[in-house]
Amino acid sequence: MTAKPKVWVSRPLFPDVLARLAEHFDVDAEAVEHRHSADELKRKLAGVDGAVVGLADRIDAAVLEGNTRLKVVANLGVGYNNLDLDALTRAGIVASNTPDVLNESVADYAWALMLAAARRVSAAERWLRAGQWPGSNMRFDDWLGLPVHGRTLGILGMGRIGQGIARRAAGFDMRVLYHNRSRLPEMVERECQATLVSKSELLRQVDYLVLVLPFTPENRHAIGAPELAQMKPSAVLVNIARGGIVDDAALALALREGKLAAAGLDVFEGEPMVHPDLLTLDNAVLSPHIASASEETRRAMANLAADNVIAALGFGEAAGKPPTALNPAVLIRGSAHKA
Ligand code: GLV
């Protein structure tokens, strides 16, 4: 009997998903969360045929150097700026991500941050938990927040998640503007009741700006001091995309100086570290990169990553056709099936 291919899973994962992998593979799954160094990644990946990795695992040319065994890397996330796709493709390794299954959960979460930032939910809760309500003589005009209904929502990056955020805006009777590399088909624009505008129009007109861009070198600091200066001082910024798309230092300054009313942030430049100034601001609602974290969605993401590994290594109904490969050219060339 030939030995089963080996698969490394870099983070603890749902046991039933690991069991699916174990039907085909000899699985080495990390039992505790741990940030892997480049050396550790290199060593782990050298001894396996496939890997399921998290967003904190940076898979680049140096990590892949000399690796002649690895055939597939499945990323647990839709964003894949932690993968050097060119390096993976050059090495003949299939890479995959987890698109679509998280769209609705992430769209829900964008609204959670928008509403919480507008209505000061986190700051009010901190105040209550600190025991400050009794004896405070809280006034009728304390804790005033910003209205959401009837205002203008802007979406920068109008993929499926952005469209989900836009569709929800109808319930709040909002006007929706968007900016994107390309215009959406008319039918989709109609469904989302969204209008394409230039980036500077978007910045100037909206009351709520939600960022849903992929992180690319061009998108680094897409929202920095010059962009923040174009926004209304009463506006709210929500980043559920990636750290580094916003210049967090410039954002903290704008929030402190009242040049922007509030922010809801799920992602940070250099996370898990958070800019210290953001931590001191009551008008910033902060969460630890959890926009996709509903049970149903995280399971769907884990299963999709497993589907990709199983198919890329030649097993299951989709053998040879990983459903969400990012570099399918590797499969066409057949180089994913190294001896
Ligand atoms: C989360 O940030 C993801 O890219 O899935």
97-152 residue pLDDT tens: 999 999 999 999 999 999 999 999 999 999 999 999 999 999 999 999 999 999 99
Distance, in Å, from the CA atom of 111 to the CA atom of 108, rounded to the nearest integer, reads 5
**Separation of 105 CA from ligand 1 center, angstroms?**
11
Distance, in Å, from the CA atom of 251 to the CA atom of 329, rounded to the nearest integer, reads 40
How many C-beta neighbours within 10 Å does residue 222 have?
A: 19
Instruction: Look at residue 338 in the predicted model and tell me its pLDDT.
Output: 54
Computed over every residue of the chain, the mean pLDDT equals 96
- pLDDT of 336 strictly over 70: no
Q: Quick one: tokens of 55?
A: 């967003």
Provide the residue ranges of all domains of the chain, joining segments of one domain with +: 6-100+295-338, 103-286
pLDDT band with cut points at 50, 70 and 90 for residue 333: low
Angle at 44 between CA 43 and CA 47, to 5 degrees: 90
CATH of span 6-100+295-338: 3.40.50.720
Distance, in Å, from the CA atom of 311 to the CA atom of 317, rounded to the nearest integer, reads 8
pLDDT band with cut points at 50, 70 and 90 for residue 339: very low
How many C-beta neighbours within 10 Å does residue 308 have?
A: 28
Query: Which residue out of 20, 24, 36, 289 is catalytically annotated?
Result: 289
- Report the topology of domain 103-286: Rossmann fold (3.40.50)
> Which alpha helices (DSSP H) does 65-146 contain, by range?
85-90, 103-119, 121-129
**Separation of 78 CA from ligand 1 center, angstroms?**
5
CB of residue 202 inside a 6 A radius of ligand 1: no
pLDDT in tens, 285-323: 999 999 999 999 999 999 999 999 999 999 999 999 999
Instruction: Please identify, by atom number, the ligand 1 atom nearest to the C-alpha of residue 80.
Output: 4
pLDDT band with cut points at 50, 70 and 90 for residue 2: confident
Q: Which residues contact 174 (CB under 8 A, 6 or more apart)?
A: 148, 149, 150, 151, 152, 153, 208
**Separation of 77 CA from ligand 1 center, angstroms?**
4
* E-state strands within 54-98: 72-75, 94-96
- State the DSSP string of 262-310: EEEES--TTTTS--HHHHT-TTEEE-SS-TT-SHHHHHHHHHHHHHHHH
- Sign of the CA dihedral with 279 first, then 82, 51, and 41 last: negative
Fold equal for 6-100+295-338 and 103-286: yes
Q: Give me the phi and psi of 246, to 5 degrees please.
A: -105, 140
| Closest by Cα among 268, 261, 198 to 231 | 261
